[in-house]
Amino acid sequence: MKNRLLLALPLLGLVLALSACETEKPYVTTDYRFHQRGIVVACFNEENATVADAQKVAEEVCRQYDRTAQVQLVQPYQCSWSAPTQVTMSCVARPGENPGPILQHGAPMRHDTPLPAW
């Protein structure tokens, strides 16, 4: 009986790990340096999300610059095993709008915080 439980434990762990991976939501993989250039890269799993879902995540980033996300490229098998599809998007002006340029000093830089005294 004890041996059966020991054999079932790895199988149970594998089932739990696979079910946890399946529910991963789209996420942004780029940082502020890309965002300041108007580029957002997101990853998602095509089994439980769509390009539109990844675009919604990118919209949150582009909204900071008064723009909207436009899909440029979709590449399968470029991200993690749980979210393999990569979408590259550009932050573009909304139709009929003419926002100012994206200011490169809008995001915090590493040297913005003062270094402690020796």
DSSP codes of every residue in the chain: -HHHHHHHHHHHHHHHHHHHHHTPPPEE---HHHHTTTEEEEEE-TTT--HHHHHHHHHHHHHTTT-EEEEEEEETT-S-SSS-EEEEEEEEPPTT--PPPPPTTSS--GGGSPPPP-
User: What pLDDT is recorded for position 7?
Assistant: 61
Residue with tokens 């991200």: 79
Please determine, for residue 100, whether its predicted confidence score (pLDDT) is greater than 90: no
- CA 38 remoteness from chain centre: 15
Report the pLDDT value the prediction gives residue 73, as an integer from 0 to 100.
97
Q: Residue 71 has what pLDDT?
A: 97
Q: Is a pLDDT exceeding 80 seen at residue 5?
A: no
Q: What pLDDT was estimated at residue 20?
A: 52
pLDDT tier for residue 36 given thresholds of 50, 70 and 90: confident
CB 60 within 8 A of CB 85: no
Residue 38's CB: how many other CB atoms inside 10 A? 18
> In percent, how much of the chain has pLDDT > 90?
53
pLDDT of residue 99: 85
CA 37 to chain centre: 16
When comparing pLDDT for 55 and 21, which is higher? 55
